[in-house]
Amino acid sequence: MLVLSSPSGAGKTTISRRLLEIEDDLTMSVSATTRRKRPGETEGKDYYFTDNQSFGERVNRGELLEHAKVFDYYYGTPRAPVEKALSAGRDVLFDIDWQGTQQIYEQAGDDLVRVFILPPSTRALEARLRARAQDSDEVVARRMSEASSEMSHWQEYDYVIVNDDLDNSLQQVRAILAAERLKRTRQIGMGEFVKLLRSGH
User: Which residues make up the interface to a copy of itself (CB under 8 A)?
Assistant: 116, 154-155, 157-161, 171-172, 174-176, 178-180, 182-184, 187-188
In angstroms, what is the minimal distance from the CB of 89 to a copy of itself?
18
- In the bound state with a copy of itself, the residue whose beta carbon lies nearer, of 131 and 160, is 160
- In the bound state with a copy of itself, the residue whose beta carbon lies nearer, of 160 and 166, is 160
In angstroms, what is the minimal distance from the CB of 123 to a copy of itself?
21
Which are the contacts of 164, defined by CB distance < 8 A and separation ≥ 6? 120, 124
H-assigned helices in 9-51: 12-22
In angstroms, what is the minimal distance from the CB of 117 to a copy of itself?
11
Kindly compute the dihedral angle of the four CA atoms of residues 153, 54, 201, 196, in this order, to the nearest 10 degrees. Answer: -20
- In the bound state with a copy of itself, the residue whose beta carbon lies nearer, of 18 and 174, is 174
In angstroms, what is the minimal distance from the CB of 157 to a copy of itself?
6
DSSP string spanning 77-131? EEHHHHHHHHHTT-EEEEE--HHHHHHHHHHHGGGSEEEEEE-S-HHHHHHHHHT
